[in-house]
Structure 1
């Protein structure tokens, strides 16, 4: 798409890497992590459509769903095997790329992947229903409040009016990812796909994250051939922002494994 804002933190030119951010944020939060990595990788990223400095996502008839569109954008950055890092929805996109083209991934770091199809959860079902009811009623801000009450670092009421308007727009993008994340429309979990990833994988979670995160990590780890697990004490879902140095240290461990 035009109007995609790209980010680059220069490092070792022989070690390309790509980092994918979560919903309702931007690629800017990889900056402190890149700094903590000290140039170990040549890190690229981008602001997903409708986020940060990128243009809004305005699909035409026949265009793919949001998750597929962002996956294709991410894949366009890959010219040779690289270290792939993702957080939340970014982690599900990274995993989707890895199962589709395992030869393109040198290492895979998944921070709180929200692939709910791997571990169906009643609390997440209830949250999705609450969000959908608000969207059906035309109250996008209430839907965003419901989402951020679980998956954000602060509530909507704490945000300035301009930021509230942004999250109210973005919540429709969150809803668009539902079929992929809850029902695995991308077939990421199909038999044999996770098992075909031969790169070292690290699953990182926050100690204080919703329980479904641990269940998802359990389900993925049981099928990945070369996998490590790590938990950041005192951290929640937004740990790349709240605990960048700890997250960078764990990423570095997985880089070394590759």
Structure 2
């Protein structure tokens, strides 16, 4: 799959009325390969898991190289990859552009770029710089008005409109779960709206009915995996057989072989 058709197909997944893109988020090769084997054609990464795996803080521009390393591992695989780059790991639009060029070069077709509730104009400048330098990259512009702020609806609309004007292909509002406010954003923003799934919020079919075009799982799968590990060790310590799904050793090794085959095919293409 060449870069341009891949990008086109990724963008198209955001324009299917009534059928939002359900984007699971992986944290390493095995998790991404297992999700792809379940039929997910597009996969994202999660910055929390990248940071937690190496003992660094999330959202503090500490994991740029680790994010690049993961993108290099996953970008040549036969699925569409979107990478969570926090705020671009820099306040300098030029440095953010350099990062996105490197991601594009290894096969990444989309990024999440978050404002961290900083000023609107600098974030819009990053978006504009990225779209000017790598126009094919799908930029999902995230605002943290609900994640870190007080959920001001007017401020959210203002920020999203500015990011859209700067060239963002989609907009992302994690932390928003109120159906009425979701409908307001869908009506007022001329871009696919991405929300973060919450077990306490609307279901995926309900979000589809509200007009949401992309539903991300964020760090949920990673946190569930950690929880499952803790539950399993507690069961074992108590003399119980652990429940839940446990892939076999050979099934996990098969994911490794799949990766090797994919890399060989890409290198000979």
TM range (shorter): 0.3 to 0.5
Q: Which of these two proteins has the greater Rg computed from alpha carbons?
A: 2
TM superposition score normalised by structure 2: 0.37
TM superposition score normalised by structure 1: 0.38
